[in-house]
Every structure is written in structure tokens, then in C-alpha cells.
């Protein structure tokens, strides 16, 4: 009895109780991450179902999940915290992580998403080859399209996180490419992307908020005048997201925009920078080729393979 009493002294009882609480807390955190991801995935599926075929909406969200898991896997490989992916209707998905302390790590994490996303898109292409299902063709198109768009060299898109390891001047090429794409597509909802990009642009205090308000007003006017081909609910969601970004601008500009640690980090050796340039161009060209193959060889897949009542 004395041995048992010594073994389970009050000190050990306290430590055991703390350990039990820690295990319970870890379980709660893990379950919470799963619930956050699953619930936002479901909301996104329901939102995309307003526009697309239900099965296409399901596949689309799965492709987004695969893309985000590429970032999560990369984070785990470098020993960083792996937050739960959060899905935002009509904007995609995101993971919220702390600042990077070096350029190579940010590039590595940024590259993981489009790399795994491209592999997921290739799986859809192979399934289309074997089944000739329009669903797989449509998912191949949207997967290549979204991952290629994400490769634009401007933060917070993945391409911007990759190319910052090569040189910060790449972002000006990204601004130009995004402007050309916005004019070419002519969809007011792309102004939400511009608001997102503005979060990474340093400018005089309060200018970010003012420019954001102007973009919001322009977007609302364009929506009211019939620009864009999406539903009214989708337009309302875009306006809500834009308003949230502008509210964020107000907070960060009133407190002072903090400088990211990676912005003052030194560049790696030129051999490393050239290797990342080759990796970036290789994946970008591959996605462009995949997108061109899907569109040119098989017609207007955006209309025949995504809309309701067209799945076969």
C-alpha cells in the first residue's frame, strides 16, 4: 500500500490530470479543425450548386480541397503548424498561417498547392479518357483553370509566394497579367480578387480603404447594370466579401500595416533562385498546355460540362 501511495502521490495526480486535459484539448482541436473544414466545404458546395450541376459542384470543391492539402502537406514537411483549410464560396479556399521567416520556405509552401492540385486535375483527365464523362472533362478544365490562375506571380496567390524567392519585381508582371485577365473576362466579381491582392500592396495610410470603397462601388454598379453571368445570390456574396476586405483594410491601416518577415529576409543563392524559376515556369507551362488541350480539342467545356442537366 505504501508503494502505491508513493506512486500516486498528489504531485503525480496533478500531472496526470494535466496530461488528461492536454489530451482532451488536442482531441477538441483536431475535431474542431475537421468540423471547420467539413462545414465550410458543405457551404461552398451548396453555393456552387446555385450555378453548376450538383455533381460538378461536389467535384469542384474536392479539387479545391486537394489543392489546399498540397499546402498542408508542405507545411508538415517543414515542421510548421497545419491549420484547417477554410472554404469561401466563390473565392476558393485558404489556410491561415503565420509569417514566413525565409523566402525558400514560403516558396515551398506556395508550390505545394498548385502541384498537388495539378495532379488531382490529371486524375480527372485520365478518368475522362476512360469514361468519356462530361463531368470529368469539366473538372479537368476547372482544375487547370484555377491552378493556372493561382500561379499569377502576385501575392497572396500561390504564384506570388513562389516567385518572391526569385525577385520581388515579379509582382509587377503579376499586376499586369491580372489586369489583362480582368479586362478580357469582363466579370465584375474579379474585383474581389483585386481587393485581396491589395492587402499585400504597401501604400500611404487610408489609401487602401479609399481605393477599396471605389472598387466596391464600381462592382455594385456593374452588377446592377447586368454585367456578369452569375446569379443574384452570387453577386450578393461577392459584395459581402468585398465589404469584409474593406473593413479589414480599415483595421490594418488604422493600426499600421505590419511588414512581413520574409520581405526583409535575404535572397538565396542564384542557383537556388534559378531552380525555383525553372519549377515555376515548368508547372505554369504544364497547366497552360493542359488547359489549352481541354478547350481546343474538346470545345466549349465551360458550357457543356458544368451547367445543370448536362451530365452524362
Residue 95 sits in which domain range?
31-165+267-312
| Residues 176, 218 share a domain | yes
pLDDT number for residue 29: 42
- The answer to whether residue 199 sits within a structural domain is yes
CB 310 within 8 A of CB 134: yes
Residue 46 grid cell: 451548396
Name every residue whose Cβ is closer than 8 Å to that of residue 289 and which is 6 or more positions away in sequence. Answer: none
| Residues 247, 181 share a domain | yes
The residue count of the chain comes to 312
| Residues 62, 120 share a domain | yes
Tell whether omega for the bond before 142 is within 30 degrees of 0, i.e. cis: no
- The answer to whether residue 56 sits within a structural domain is yes
- Taking only the tens place, the pLDDT of each residue in 57-66 is 888 889 988 9
Render the chain in DSSP notation, one character per residue.
Answer: -HHHHHHT-HHHHHHHHHHHHHHHHHHHHHHHHHHHHHHHHHHHHHHHTTTS-HHHHHHHHHHHHHHHHHHHHHHHHTT---PPPEEETTTEEE---PPPSSHHHHHHHHHHHHHHHHHHHHHHHHHHHHH--HHHHHHHHHHHHHHHHHTSSSTTSHHHHHHTTT-TTHHHHHHHHHHHHHHHH--GGGHHHHHHHHTT---STTHHHHHHHHHHHHHHHHHHTT-SSS-HHHHHHHHHHHHHHHHHHHHHHHH-PPPPGGGGSPP--HHHHHHHHHHHHHHHHHHHHHHHHHHHHH--HHHHTTSTT---
Q: Give me the number of domains the chain comprises.
A: 2
51 pairs with which residues across the strands? Answer: none
Closest to 198 (Cα-Cα) out of 180, 220, 185, 216: 216
- The answer to whether residue 12 sits within a structural domain is no
- The answer to whether residue 9 sits within a structural domain is no
| Residues 173, 45 share a domain | no
Residue 187 grid cell: 466579370
| Residues 71, 139 share a domain | yes
* Residue after which a domain boundary falls, among 227, 244, 262: 262
What's the predicted TM-score (pTM) here?
A: 0.77
In angstroms, the Cα distances linking 54 to 57, 93, 121, 135, 172 are 5, 19, 19, 10, 38
Residue 60 grid cell: 469542384
pLDDT number for residue 33: 63
CB 159 within 8 A of CB 174: yes
| Residues 111, 41 share a domain | yes
| Residues 272, 154 share a domain | yes
- The answer to whether residue 82 sits within a structural domain is yes
* Residue after which a domain boundary falls, among 262, 278, 303: 262
| Residues 276, 230 share a domain | no
- The answer to whether residue 4 sits within a structural domain is no
| Residues 246, 157 share a domain | no
Q: How far from chain centre, in Å, is Cα 307?
A: 24
| Residues 173, 116 share a domain | no
- Taking only the tens place, the pLDDT of each residue in 78-117 is 887 777 777 777 666 777 776 677 888 889 999 999 999 9
- The answer to whether residue 144 sits within a structural domain is yes
Q: What is the dihedral of CA 150, 153, 158, 163, to 10 degrees?
A: 150
pLDDT number for residue 148: 93
- The answer to whether residue 14 sits within a structural domain is no
Listed as ranges, residues in the chain with pLDDT below 70 are: 1-33, 36, 90-92, 98-99, 228-231, 253-264, 297-312
pLDDT number for residue 298: 64
| Residues 257, 159 share a domain | no
pLDDT number for residue 263: 62
| Residues 153, 215 share a domain | no
Amino acid at each position: 500500500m505504501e508503494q502505491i501511495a508513493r506512486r500516486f502521490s498528489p504531485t503525480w495526480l496533478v500531472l496526470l490530470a494535466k496530461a488528461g486535459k492536454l489530451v482532451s484539448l488536442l482531441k477538441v482541436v483536431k475535431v474542431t479543425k475537421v468540423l471547420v473544414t467539413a462545414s465550410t466545404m458543405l457551404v461552398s458546395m451548396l453555393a456552387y450548386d446555385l450555378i453548376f450541376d450538383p455533381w460538378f459542384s461536389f467535384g469542384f470543391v474536392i479539387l479545391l480541397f486537394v489543392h489546399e492539402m498540397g499546402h498542408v502537406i508542405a507545411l508538415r514537411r517543414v515542421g510548421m503548424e497545419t491549420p484547417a483549410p477554410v472554404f469561401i464560396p466563390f473565392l476558393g479556399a485558404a489556410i491561415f498561417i503565420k509569417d514566413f521567416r525565409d523566402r525558400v520556405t514560403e516558396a515551398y509552401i506556395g508550390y505545394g498547392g498548385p502541384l498537388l492540385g495539378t495532379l488531382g486535375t490529371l486524375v480527372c483527365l485520365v478518368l475522362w479518357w476512360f469514361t468519356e464523362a462530361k463531368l470529368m472533362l469539366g473538372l479537368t478544365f476547372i482544375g487547370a483553370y484555377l491552378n493556372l490562375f493561382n500561379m499569377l506571380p502576385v501575392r497572396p496567390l500561390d504564384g506570388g509566394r513562389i516567385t518572391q524567392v526569385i525577385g520581388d519585381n515579379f509582382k509587377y508582371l503579376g499586376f499586369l497579367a491580372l489586369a489583362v485577365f480582368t479586362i478580357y473576362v469582363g466579370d465584375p466579381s474579379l474585383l474581389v480578387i483585386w481587393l485581396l491582392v491589395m492587402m499585400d500592396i504597401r501604400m500611404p495610410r487610408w489609401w487602401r480603404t479609399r481605393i477599396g470603397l471605389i472598387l466596391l462601388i464600381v462592382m455594385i454598379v456593374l452588377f446592377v447594370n447586368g454585367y456578369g453571368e452569375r446569379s443574384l445570390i452570387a453577386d450578393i456574396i461577392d459584395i459581402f466579401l468585398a465589404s469584409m476586405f474593406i473593413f479589414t483594410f480599415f483595421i490594418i491601416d488604422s493600426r499600421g500595416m505590419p511588414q512581413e518577415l520574409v520581405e526583409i529576409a535575404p535572397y538565396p543563392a542564384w542557383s537556388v533562385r534559378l531552380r525555383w524559376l525553372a519549377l515555376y515556369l515548368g508547372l505554369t507551362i504544364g497547366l497552360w498546355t493542359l488547359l489549352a488541350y481541354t478547350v481546343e480539342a474538346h470545345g466549349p467545356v465551360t458550357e457543356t460540362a458544368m451547367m445543370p442537366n448536362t451530365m452524362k
